[in-house]
Amino acid sequence: MQDKIPAIGLGTFRLQGRVVIDSVRAGLELGYRHIDTAQIYGNEADVGTAIAESGIARDELFVTTKVWTANLAGDRLIPSLQESLDKLRLQQVDLALIHWPSPRDEVPVAEYMAALLAAKRAGLARRIGISNFTLRHMGEAIDAVGAAEIATNQVEIHPYLQNRAVARFAREHGLHLTAYMPLAYGKVMKDPVIARIAAKHEATPAQVALAWSLQQGFAVIPSSTKRENLAANLLAARITLSEEEMAAIAALDANDRIANPEGIAPAWD
């Protein structure tokens, strides 16, 4: 049984059908043990198929899913999470996250965090957490269930969006962070600063960008449909960047946010 969130996981955002099945299957064969999905991705059943066909013991896997905004009301959250478990063919997920704060705060943070904690206590999830939460939403979540109950805040973090206010708040309150889109949808592969650092380490730019997040204590959940990239990403944990290299990447911050869905995204810090 995984005692903590694995540092490197496999993201499945935008992957559907055979594509996601093949990606998860290849990832599991290569050694990934953390698979991240969500209700809104529409691929929980396919992820469940890949997991079931892998033959890997359940207690070796760490599976995360995320509750969509339409299911945040107290009477909808637990039934929706049960639907997710049915699709995933699991009795329990290792981590259930609130995917986004309720748009326009129509459902109070305290209501859906209480429902999520009830889901944990009912055995539907081993851990619970949050995603895309601002400073205010993090504070309200802590007030609702306590910081110790929040396993992570999964947020967009990469060299061009470093989310420093959120990271600082998280450190101050003992909250773990998971970085999604850690490669900025491939932008890091074309960056000359990252390329120079990668050449020095005989690594790929993607590995360097992942190492940059890992060295800050973040978990990362990159995705890929290519087996060679999946394998290479796992090796990022072997890279140690110098203080100068970390600073050079830190200087790339441009508040360049990719995930900002209209009508859903909160007012960012």
CATH of the domain at 156: 3.20.20.100
Residues with Cβ within 8 Å of residue 187, at least 6 apart in sequence: 158, 160
Assigned domain for 83 exists: yes
Phi, psi for residue 125 in degrees, rounded to 5: -145, 140
Does any domain span residue 25? Answer: yes
The active-site residue, picked from 41, 112, 160, 180, is 41
Does residue 225 lie in a domain region?
yes
Please indicate, yes or no, if residue 76 is contained in any of the structural domains: yes
Say if pTM beats, i.e. exceeds, 0.85: yes
The three-class DSSP label of residue 50 is helix
Q: What are phi and psi of 57, to 5 degrees?
A: -60, 140
pLDDT for 3: 73
236 near 210, Cβ under 8 Å?
yes
Give residue 235's domain range: 10-250
180 is a catalytic site residue: no
Cα–Cα distance for residue pair 139/10, rounded to 1 Å: 28
257 inside domain: no
For residue 214, which amino acid is it?
Answer: L
Q: Is residue 259 part of a domain?
A: no
Q: What is the pLDDT along the chain (269 residues), one digit of tens a residue?
A: 667 999 999 999 999 999 999 999 999 999 999 999 999 999 999 999 999 999 999 999 999 999 999 999 989 999 999 999 999 999 999 999 999 999 999 999 999 999 999 999 999 999 999 999 999 999 999 999 999 999 999 999 999 999 999 999 999 999 999 999 999 999 999 999 999 999 999 999 999 999 999 999 999 999 999 999 999 999 999 999 999 999 999 999 999 999 999 999 999 99
What's the total number of domains in the chain?
Answer: 1
DSSP-based three-state secondary structure for 94? strand
CA gap 236, 9 in Å, rounded: 12
Residue 34 is labelled as binding a ligand: no
Alpha-carbon distances, residue 98 vs 37, 64, 65, 101, 153 (angstroms): 12, 11, 9, 7, 9
Residue 201 placed within a domain: yes
